[in-house]
Amino acid sequence: MSPRRVPVGRSNRAAKPPLNREGIVTVALQIMHEEAFESVTMRRLAAEFQTGPASIYVYIANVAELRGAILDRLLGGLDLNRQATSETAREVLIGLLADYIGMLLGPPSLARAVLVLWPSGPNYLKLIDNVLALLLLDGVPPRQAAWGVDQLLQHATATAAEHGTRVDFSEGERDGYRLRSAIEEATAEDYPAIAKLRGELFSGTPGQRLRWQLTALIEGIAGTAVPV
């Protein structure tokens, strides 16, 4: 683990929320935005409400539930009413997924944690419903849309997790860079295919690659029949 951050205190926050489920999640989001997702702990929350850690357990069963509640609150900020534009359904879908990824990349270190979160709140359901509707609008056969929605959301989350780790460069010894330099130094004898494609492995901007990935994914979902 990296060295702990010094708690910033309640700095420029408005009137403190009440000590109940909603208020706790509100303070959790404040801490996450001001510091990082991993700073949101049960003990820290208790301290923020000037009480002992046991008090938080009156309203929230455990850390997993706390994290799920944070993510669902965040999901509430996604704009799900963009179908009215003149874009095609596929364009809208790609935009929505890119927004979702962007949202996950916002708060420091959130993205790395989401993959383990498995949200189930109403806002996540709304996101699923929207993605499904857009796939159907795009002409994807219903069964393929049903199986594909999972894969699209998983891809979005995994992309955020991968990107999130790379963005948060505190040390010089970053894992992402270690892999990159390992690939750059891979010999043609040991790694013939890597050597052959070395120039292309890191080509393109992150935005180009994301668009291509989402397009390829949707194309595959639209073109691959589900077994009877």
Partner DNA sequence: ACCTGAACACCGTTCAAGT
Name residues contacting its own copies, limited to 26-65 (CB under 8 A). 61-64
Give the Cβ contact number of residue 160 at 10 Å. 23
Tokens of 6: 């010094």
Q: Which does 224 bind (CB under 5 to 8 A by kind): its own copies, DNA, none?
A: its own copies
Q: With binding defined as CB under 8 A, does residue 197 bind its own copies?
A: yes
Instruction: State which residue, 30 or 144, has the beta carbon closest to its own copies.
Output: 144
For residues 125 and 71, the answer to whether their CB atoms sit within 8 Å is no
Instruction: State which residue, 58 or 197, has the beta carbon closest to DNA.
Output: 58
Applying CB under 7 A, among 19, 24, 101, 218 the residue interacting with DNA is 19
- DSSP for 20-65? SHHHHHHHHHHHHHHS-GGG--HHHHHHHTTS-GGGGGGT--SHHH
Instruction: State which residue, 1 or 14, has the beta carbon closest to DNA.
Output: 1
Tokens of 100: 């979702």
Applying CB under 7 A, among 16, 44, 174, 180 the residue interacting with DNA is 44
Q: Which residues contact 122 (CB under 8 A, 6 or more apart)?
A: 72
Q: Which of residues 128-157 bind its own copies (CB under 8 A)?
A: 128-130, 132-133, 136, 142-143, 145-151, 154-155, 157
Applying CB under 8 A, among 80, 105, 158, 167 the residue interacting with its own copies is 158
CA 177 from chain center: how many Å? 21
Q: Which residues bind DNA (CB under 7 A)?
A: 1-4, 19, 39, 41-44, 51-55, 57-58, 62-64
